[in-house]
């Protein structure tokens, strides 16, 4: 039997299978507010054991990309309520990914009064999309002072409370892929010399303080985190302290009792693979502090590799990304061996239902 299709208990949540829908930014939130179309999209995919939403900003300052949603205003909370109600009506479970874009993005995407900030005033090379003026260079971030850092931590805690108000089953801190938390973790983006930077122990501090604040706000059984050791996305470079740094972080997060750690591997997208030994050490150290915590692996999975990693206890849950975009009934297709439809990457971030809610389920498609 393939373990992917067996139940799992995550904190207080019973998951109907171990296939997780990976967090994926889809840029359909006009005005940064979740809407009916988004509720339909998530409801279509509610057969996942657990859905993790696209990156959602806890702060106006974290909306660096066009049309990404927030969860800091009442209107946004009400919008998300439609999403969680639609998913729960289908007995799904859903966590919101809290993603503060930090130094990534362009100021034209931000609401009035917001600003692009980061641990240091180091901008990204290249360009990013803005609805106002098309493709534009990344904006230069302002270096956060200690007051900004405290304010950002409070924003995460408030967003976590909002998530529970909106009906989410939990939150995932986006500590991966070069967004704010990883910007603090990483020497490519963090050149500070105060208590939030300078050596890897100090660079871990922001992540641990954010995790502590959200745990205090909503309880550790509702808080997971995504990490990308060896990730290079958003202008990061491999450095020689990764192992030491993430081992220490795994212990701190385990001590806090986080319900899961979720590891990114984007080697199927051309990125460097995280070292197997580091991924295993993070798991062991995290579980040494929190034996009931779950470990999620992601990136380029098929059901056979998923089953093998579950059987070997390399992971408790497996996340699938792109295949969930183009196969709303992915779990059923994987279980029955029905061929998968391919996602149209040109429609990943475009507004509207095309390439979003119009992928058919297998029974209605011609495959």
Ligand X SMILES: Cc1cc2nc3c(=O)[nH]c(=O)nc-3n(C[C@H](O)[C@H](O)[C@H](O)COP(=O)(O)O)c2cc1C
Q: Active-site residues: which are they?
A: 179
* Using rule CB under 6 A, residue 196 touches ligand X: no
CB-wise, 5 or 192, nearer to ligand X?
A: 5
* Using rule CB under 6 A, residue 18 touches ligand X: no
* Using rule CB under 6 A, residue 28 touches ligand X: no
- Cα–Cα distance measured from residue 320 to residue 332, given in angstroms and rounded to the nearest whole number: 13
Which of 54, 182, 235, 316 contacts ligand X by CB under 6 A?
54
Nearest partner of 246 among 220, 226, 270, judged by Cα: 226
CA atoms within 13 A on the CB side of 47: 14
Q: In the block, which residue shows the tokens 């098309």?
A: 134
| Interaction pattern, residues 255-294, with ligand X; x per rule: CB under 6 A | ---------x-x-x--------------------------
Which of 110, 144, 163, 176 contacts ligand X by CB under 6 A?
176
Kindly state the smallest distance separating residue 146's Cβ from ligand X, in Å: 28
Q: Tokens for 330?
A: 């992915």
Q: What backbone phi and psi angles, to 5 degrees, belong to 307?
A: -60, -40
Could you give the 3-state DSSP secondary structure of residue 308?
helix
Using an 8 Å Cβ cutoff, are 64 and 106 in contact? yes
CB-wise, 165 or 322, nearer to ligand X?
A: 322
* Using rule CB under 6 A, residue 300 touches ligand X: yes
CB-wise, 197 or 355, nearer to ligand X?
A: 355
* Using rule CB under 6 A, residue 180 touches ligand X: no
Using an 8 Å Cβ cutoff, are 236 and 178 in contact? yes
Which of 109, 177, 183, 290 contacts ligand X by CB under 6 A?
177
CB-wise, 34 or 197, nearer to ligand X?
A: 34
Which of 178, 224, 299, 303 contacts ligand X by CB under 6 A?
299
Residues 199-218 that bind ligand X (CB under 6 A): none
* Using rule CB under 6 A, residue 340 touches ligand X: no
Using an 8 Å Cβ cutoff, are 49 and 15 in contact? yes
Which of 11, 34, 49, 55 contacts ligand X by CB under 6 A?
55
* Using rule CB under 6 A, residue 317 touches ligand X: no
- Cα–Cα distance measured from residue 330 to residue 320, given in angstroms and rounded to the nearest whole number: 9
Could you give the 3-state DSSP secondary structure of residue 80?
helix
* Using rule CB under 6 A, residue 44 touches ligand X: no
Nearest partner of 63 among 113, 6, 2, 13, judged by Cα: 113
Could you give the 3-state DSSP secondary structure of residue 339?
coil
CB-wise, 228 or 252, nearer to ligand X?
A: 228
Using an 8 Å Cβ cutoff, are 117 and 104 in contact? no
Measured between alpha carbons, how far is residue 170 from residues 30, 82, 120, 216, 217 in Å? 24, 16, 30, 13, 11
Of 35-43, 119-127, 203-211, 299-307, the window that binds ligand X (rule: CB under 6 A) is 299-307
Residues 87-116 that bind ligand X (CB under 6 A): 97, 99
* Using rule CB under 6 A, residue 348 touches ligand X: yes
Measured between alpha carbons, how far is residue 18 from residues 36, 219, 280, 307 in Å? 27, 22, 19, 10
- The alpha carbons of the chain give a radius of gyration, in whole angstroms, of 19
* Using rule CB under 6 A, residue 187 touches ligand X: no
CB-wise, 197 or 347, nearer to ligand X?
A: 347
Binding region for ligand X (CB under 6 A): 22-25, 54-55, 97, 99, 174, 176-177, 226, 264, 266, 268, 298-301, 320-323, 348
């Amino acid at each position: 039997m393939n373990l992917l299709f067996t139940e799992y208990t995550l904190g207080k949540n019973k998951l109907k299978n171990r296939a997780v829908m990976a967090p994926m930014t889809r840029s359909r939130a006009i005005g940064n507010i979740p809407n009916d179309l988004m509720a339909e999209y998530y409801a279509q995919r509610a057969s996942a054991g657990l859905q993790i939403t696209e990156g959602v900003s806890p702060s106006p300052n974290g909306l660096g990309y066009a049309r990404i949603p927030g969860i800091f205003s009442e209107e946004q909370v009400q919008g998300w309520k439609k999403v969680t109600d639609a998913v729960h009506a289908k007995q799904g479970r859903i966590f919101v990914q809290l993603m503060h874009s930090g130094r990534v993005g362009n100021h034209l995407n931000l609401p009035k009064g917001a600003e692009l900030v980061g641990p240091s005033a180091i901008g990204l090379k290249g360009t990013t999309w803005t609805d106002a003026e098309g493709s534009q260079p990344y904006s230069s971030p302002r270096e956060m002072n200690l007051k900004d850092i405290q304010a950002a931590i409070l924003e995460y805690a408030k967003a976590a409370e909002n998530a529970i108000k909106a009906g989410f089953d939990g939150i995932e801190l986006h500590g991966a892929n070069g967004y704010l938390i990883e910007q603090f973790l990483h020497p490519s983006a963090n050149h500070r010399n105060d208590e939030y930077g300078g050596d890897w122990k100090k660079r871990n501090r922001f992540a641990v303080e954010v995790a502590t604040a959200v745990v205090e706000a909503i309880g550790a059984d509702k808080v997971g985190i995504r990490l990308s050791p060896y990730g290079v996305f958003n202008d990061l470079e491999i450095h020689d302290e990764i192992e030491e740094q993430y081992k220490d972080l795994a212990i701190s997060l385990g001590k806090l009792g986080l319900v899961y750690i979720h590891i990114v591997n984007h080697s199927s997208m051309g990125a460097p693979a995280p070292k197997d030994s580091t991924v295993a050490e993070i798991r062991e150290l995290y579980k040494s502090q929190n034996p009931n915590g779950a470990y999620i692996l992601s990136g380029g999975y098929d059901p056979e590799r998923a089953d093998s990693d579950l059987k070997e206890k390399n992971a408790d849950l497996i996340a699938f990304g792109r295949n969930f975009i183009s196969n709303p009934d992915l779990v059923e297709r994987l279980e029955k061996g029905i061929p998968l439809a391919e996602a149209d990457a040109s429609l990943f971030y475009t507004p509207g239902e095309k390439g979003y809610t119009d992928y058919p389920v297998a029974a209605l498609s011609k495959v």
